[in-house]
Amino acid sequence: MLNLPSGRTLYYGKGDVLVYRTYAKPLEIVPIPESPFAGNRNVIFAHNVRFAVSGQSLLTSFTEGDNGKVVATDSMKNFLLRQAASFQGCATEELLCFLGERFLETYPHIESVEISADRLPFQPVEVPGPGGILRQQPRIPAVA
């Protein structure tokens, strides 16, 4: 992030951007005896993303009130959501690199991005019934 001579840091961003992708590329690995991890099907590939930007061109928004180069935080959120939909990878680190690179390509006046995320776990749920199918109960008509 941009450090000013005054010792202040110039950056801003958006947190709690919940990014969900269904049926992302499965994460396949070679199992090792030291780890119980066996990969991930990535049926639901979900993250809580934190995103911040910095650049010399943004300084006037702080010193002169000129917001001409500012990317609105909701625009950042929408950008992240849209780009995540076209992500073809399978790992969190890969997603973050993809999003950061795309943002810098789209907004060349931004000098740096700081991006991090927590993976939101979604575990499969066992559904009772033959073949894992839960049969619906017959509907009871409502009394008018």
Distance CA 34, CA 140 (A): 54
Which is the catalytic residue, given 60, 69, 73, 92? 73
Query: Does residue 69 carry a catalytic annotation?
Result: no
Query: Does residue 92 carry a catalytic annotation?
Result: no
Which is the catalytic residue, given 9, 14, 22, 63? 14
Inter-residue long-range contacts of 34-43, CB under 8 Å, 24+ positions, other chains counted: 40/90, 42/90, 43/122, 43/124
The residue with tokens 């909701």 is 74
Which residues are known catalytic residues? Answer: 14, 73
